[in-house]
Amino acid sequence: MPCSRSPLLVINATAMLGLWLLLGSAEVRAAEDVVFMASVDKTEVGLGEKIALIISVKAPGKVSQRNLKRPRTGTLKILSVRTEENVSFSFSGGNQSFSKIQKFVYILSPSKLGKTQIGAAKLKYKGKTYTTNPIDIEVVKARPRPKRRQPTRLSPFGSGSGLFPDDDWDSLLRRRDRLSRPAEIKESDIFVSVTATPDVVMQGQQVTATVRIYSRVGARIASIRWPKLDGFFSVDRDVSKVKTDQKYINGELYQYKVLDRKALFPLQAGEISLGPVEVEVEVSSSPFFPAQVRRLRTRPSKVKVMELPGENRPKSFQEANVGQYSLSANVDANEVSLNQPVTYTLRLRGTGNIQRVRPPELPQLPRFKTFDPTVDVQVSKRGREITGSKVFEYILVPLASGELTIPALEFSFYDPKQGIYRTLKTEPENIKVAASKDATAANGARSGHEVNILAGAFKPIRYKSTLRGYGTTFYKHSSFLPILVAPPILYLLILIVSLLRARGRVDSVRRRMRRAWVRSQRRLKKAGQLAAENHAADFFAELKAALMDGIEARTGLISQGLTLDDLLALMEQSGIPCQLTEAVRAETENCDFGRFAPADSRGDQMQTSLERVRLIIKKLEKERLRPVEVAK
């Protein structure tokens, strides 16, 4: 007859199983950022009332209280201090991460009326010092409070007073609605915004549009959809290195992050509308429930674009040339021979729409043969403003000897920061061309005659070749016989090793059960030491491991890879009574909840748990069991 199970134990097992699966996920990675902050449950407190100061530390590892310097509390007296630990889960950009959050909770009580201040707390962690902001508190006269009936507290373990009678797990487990459905996520819990700065620009001046998300719940970004950017030339910016930050909005603390950023260059004057940006997110208020898909929209915004001034506009100005630029030009050689190519490089650097900027064009050079330039555009990917360079390389072949000149080039642009037009000029480049020997020796050669500059650069293909064999035949080689007999010998060696290993595994189950018994006794002894030192979390972890080793030593069942229900079912099949399996269930869940409960457990309660586990292991020794096969 199957054993009956209380609903409370089923709820406990379900909650812990979800937590184990979440903590054991292979895709989860530890977050590296350290967040150190202080907060209070209220900034106005009545005389005789209590106020809670919570100092939170979010870090990859555990932070010792010795490294924390608590703040000065002014006229507030410290009544009690407790430490809490939990795990923070976050989802961003398709990645999951977790980090430990330690909370140092100080219960304070005011001693006199008036304003006071809680000073800054300091934390030293891995060679760095972190500081919180001071908090102003106002103490007023005590306010009357309605009397309320104290509810009867129940134990999370089903019977007796329980190990932790003051633990908040009681109210959580008695409120089944909290376990059966997730908390409601309001519109104010998560939202997105877009900012376009500046919102008043000149035509061709950059506008930076940034999309940010603000959230107080776990969220994963699924997609970002921008509206049609008619009237703009847009360039994507890289925001992958932007970190998550915190911000208070209307007294509420939000996590916010830059999701996307674009550089927009208006192509025409007037008022241009920027439609709403749609962000699809998966949100969840609890790791035990599936995420909800929501589509968030930003508010539409407008950008006012001013027309470029017509006064003092240079003739060489192009409408795309808006920003701040520098211009330079040079040649790779100032003395060459006739028909020897020269590289003329024109460099344009600065801030603006580098892709569309129009550099000065090289004029007609009748004494040069000019080839189309190669263009190299380099644009920064990160940052708000677009900076970069545009390089033009011209190949010029002189067609006449003597002193030739490449004239100066003129480049005009509008500087929106100064509000004026600027004109840059390059220096003329003089090139001395000497007559080549081939040109003077050739019959009928004359200045300005085009010559094939690639002549002599290519060599004829070799078409004559011979194909001859060399060396001895492979089967006549001295290494042929060892290569031939090596595979059978290797196969025999593998077969012999396999037989020896199979023979050594014949008695492996008994040896494993004996080792499990030794481990169980060692863990029970260590658990007793931890109980004497009042280390509750380590005690319950060691006690559970001792119980699982005791079960393995008696039944041969390995708890790893099995759920608690499967393990208990196999124990019943092996002949263990139902009362004993239920005792194993109760103690296992007792240890699981004890690991996550506050660390102020009393030593006599831990000693009681230790005695119960020892009694269970002794009872298992007296049972006559039958072998059970575990399905693989």
Mean pLDDT of the chain: 78
> Which of 526-540, 557-571, 587-601 shows the lowest mean pLDDT across its residues?
587-601
Q: Which of 353, 200, 354 is nearest to 272 (CA)?
A: 200
Topology, domain 187-306: Immunoglobulin-like (2.60.40)
pLDDT of residue 283: 85
Residue 351 banded pLDDT, cuts 50, 70, 90 = very high
Per-residue pLDDT tens over the stretch 43-74: 888 888 888 888 888 877 777 777 888 888 88
Q: In this model, does residue 454 exceed pLDDT 70?
A: no
Q: In this model, does residue 153 exceed pLDDT 70?
A: no
How far is residue 161's CA from residue 335's CA, in Å, rounded to a whole number?
100
pLDDT of residue 573: 83
Q: Which of 151-160, 447-456, 470-479, 534-543 has the highest mean pLDDT?
A: 534-543
pLDDT of residue 365: 86
Within 10 Å of residue 78's Cβ, how many Cβ atoms? 12
pLDDT of residue 182: 67
pLDDT of residue 458: 53
Percent of the chain with pLDDT over 90: 16
**The pair of three-digit structure tokens given for residue 486, joined into one six-digit string:** 């090596």
Q: In this model, does residue 208 exceed pLDDT 90?
A: yes
Mean pLDDT to the nearest integer, 570-596: 83
Q: Which of 104-113, 428-437, 450-459 has the highest mean pLDDT?
A: 104-113
How far is residue 193's CA from residue 258's CA, in Å, rounded to a whole number?
10
Q: 519 to each of 164, 529, 533, 550, 611, how far by Cα in Å?
A: 28, 15, 21, 8, 17
How far is residue 528's CA from residue 363's CA, in Å, rounded to a whole number?
93
Between 100 and 56, the higher pLDDT residue: 56
pLDDT of residue 506: 53
Alpha helices in 123-273 (DSSP H): 169-174, 176-180
Q: In this model, does residue 7 exceed pLDDT 50?
A: no
Within 10 Å of residue 534's Cβ, how many Cβ atoms? 13
Please write down the HEC assignment for all residues of 398-443. Answer: ECCCEEEEECCCEEEEEECCCCEEEEEECCCEEEEEECCHHHHHCC
pLDDT of residue 207: 92
* Helices (H) then strands (E): counts for the chain: 10, 32
CATH number of the domain at 7-143+156-180, please? 2.60.40
Q: In this model, does residue 435 exceed pLDDT 60?
A: yes
Residue 550 banded pLDDT, cuts 50, 70, 90 = confident
Q: In this model, does residue 161 exceed pLDDT 60?
A: no
Within 10 Å of residue 512's Cβ, how many Cβ atoms? 14
pLDDT of residue 389: 92
Per-residue pLDDT tens over the stretch 461-504: 555 556 666 666 777 788 888 888 899 999 999 999 988 877 76
- The structural domains of the chain, with segments of one domain joined by +, span 7-143+156-180, 187-306, 317-441, 508-622
Per-residue pLDDT tens over the stretch 234-276: 999 998 888 888 888 877 888 889 999 999 999 889 999 889 9
**What is the second-level CATH architecture of the domain 508-622?**
Up-down Bundle (1.20)
Q: Which of 15-19, 86-90, 208-212, 368-372 has the highest mean pLDDT?
A: 208-212
**The pair of three-digit structure tokens given for residue 422, joined into one six-digit string:** 């600027």
Between 171 and 251, the higher pLDDT residue: 251
Q: In this model, does residue 185 exceed pLDDT 90?
A: no
Per-residue pLDDT tens over the stretch 511-531: 778 888 888 888 888 888 888
> Which of 303-317, 393-407, 591-605 shows the lowest mean pLDDT across its residues?
591-605
Q: In this model, does residue 447 exceed pLDDT 50?
A: no
pLDDT of residue 193: 92
Two domains, one topology: 7-143+156-180 and 317-441: yes
pLDDT of residue 226: 93
Between 467 and 574, the higher pLDDT residue: 574
CATH number of the domain at 317-441, please? 2.60.40.740
Mean pLDDT to the nearest integer, 571-583: 85
